[in-house]
Amino acid sequence: MKKLTNDFGNIIADNQNSLSAGAKGPLLLQDYILLEKLAHQNRERIPERTVHAKGSAAYGELVITEDISRYTKAKVLQKGEKTPLIIRFSTVAGEAGAADAERDVRGFAIKFYTKEGNWDLVGNNTPTFFIRDPYKFPDFIHTQKRDPRTHLRSANAAWDFWSLSPESLHQVTILMSDRGIPASYRHMHGFGSHTYSLINDKGERFWVKFHFKTKQGIKNLTNAEAEALIAKDRESHQRDLVESIGKGDFPKWSFKIQILSEKDAEKLGFNPFDLTKVWSHKDVPLIDVGEMVLNRNVDNYFNEVEQAAFSPSNIVPGISFSPDKMLQGRIFSYPDAQRYRIGTNYHLLPVNAAKSEVNTYNVAGAMNSDTYKNKAAYYEPNSYDYSPKENKSYLEPDLELNGNVQRYAPLDEDFYTQPRALFDLMNADQKNQLFNNIAASMEGVDKTIIQRALGHFEKISPEYAAGVKKALA
């Protein structure tokens, strides 16, 4: 029989009774096993994510089947390359104990363990978002969370913000449509959402959108179906993912991209870096790249899902950023959140650690288990050939910028064209679901806010506004 020990291998003789002064006496401070157990329990939960708190994850691989080397030199995107990955799906607004089948956007975050370092693609199951400037992000998230006075979720706050921020109409229409509650994580698309850039070996830059199209087909739940499911199983998406992979029914997605050259970006007719808008597939067609498959469940939920940390700041040569304001904000906020939530050295945890060679001069900090591999220098620049140095051959091509420093308003106020195009694609049943879902979400909302929202719906389409009015009646 194995001997029970504490975390340091010290044998525990009695794990049932605390050390006390007499059978009825007070406990002793020297009972270090008791203190360790209580102290560890107090720290078993790291702070949950402010957003995307409820999640599920799995391992898999990305296989590149097409040649896109004309657009990028990134090794991970070269034909024939197979790259291991972990993906974390999530709901956005709910806490860690939220039900999986709630009406919400779904997170779609992927960490690719490439030969050139980790590449994190942090996206959603929607190609757009509610806002286009990170300045508004904390305020927006406050409307999706609990009222600090009552600790209740507030439909009034959500619709007040949306109706005063009409750039959100596109995303709101998606959220309130039949796709607002995916039947499972397997049955939804994923998007990088932001505009990124690809750089080829000639130093040419291309703007890119990343798409993952489910091969399982799209399946969604109505409000009634979701309510019935939640009553029986609050972990429906987690269960579906674990069980499907466990029995060998591996989820797959087709990996595709949209490409715009720098000179063609203006042809869209709107800011190509506006996260509230999509690039028309007619104008910028999808290009096949490869396939993503998930084929292994995690072994330890806390270690591999809760401590998994993603950030769009993790890029590799040949893949980079864009002037997308929301992307620029997330480049800072995501790793900063992880440093607060998990710790300064979260990158050393196995689920986050790069599988490629790492040479850094970052030192110390809490829970640092790294060792100094360089023989002499622990700083840079230095005089030693065997210590890592910068390599200017990896510099990106110049990005031409111009303009004065100012808090610029968005370049356009066309809040209605793209939601109208989406609405016009819906069939009668989808439109009715949209109307009824919006009406249900407006329960308890101030009449003035409802009227403001209806005014926006009218500008999208009179049919849109009329349908919501009828559902509200």
Residues whose CB falls within 8 Å of the CB of residue 258, separated by 6 or more in sequence, listed in order: 208, 209, 211, 279, 281, 284, 285, 286, 287
Structure tokens at 394: 């990896």
Residues whose CB falls within 8 Å of the CB of residue 227, separated by 6 or more in sequence, listed in order: none
- Residues 265, 267, 273, 275, Cα dihedral to 10°: -140
Residue type at 205 in one-letter notation? R
Residues whose CB falls within 8 Å of the CB of residue 153, separated by 6 or more in sequence, listed in order: 145, 146, 147
Residue type at 144 in one-letter notation? Q
User: Cβ(47)–Cβ(306) under 8 Å?
Assistant: no
Active-site annotation holds for 124: yes
User: Cβ(441)–Cβ(176) under 8 Å?
Assistant: yes
Tell me 115's DSSP state. B
Residues whose CB falls within 8 Å of the CB of residue 380, separated by 6 or more in sequence, listed in order: 361, 387, 388, 389, 390
- Please identify which residue in the block is written with the tokens 């949306």: 162
Q: How far apart are CA 300 and CA 232, in angstroms?
A: 25
Tell me 185's DSSP state. S
Residue type at 229 in one-letter notation? L
Catalytic position from the list 10, 15, 17, 124: 124
Catalytic position from the list 10, 40, 42, 52: 52
Active-site annotation holds for 52: yes
Structure tokens at 455: 């005014």
Separation in Å, CA 113 to CA 51, 88, 212 = 24, 14, 18
Strands (E), 152-203: 190-191, 196-199
Going by their DSSP bridges, the two strands 287-297 and 252-261 should be labelled as: antiparallel
- Please identify which residue in the block is written with the tokens 């998406």: 237
Q: How far apart are CA 112 and CA 142, in angstroms?
A: 31
Residues whose CB falls within 8 Å of the CB of residue 194, separated by 6 or more in sequence, listed in order: 123, 275, 312, 322, 324, 326, 327, 330
Q: How far apart are CA 419 and CA 423, in angstroms?
A: 6
User: Cβ(194)–Cβ(315) under 8 Å?
Assistant: no
Residue type at 415 in one-letter notation? F
Structure tokens at 92: 């956005």
Helix (H) or strand (E) holding 214: strand 205-214
Tell me 308's DSSP state. -
The catalytic site residues sit at 52, 124
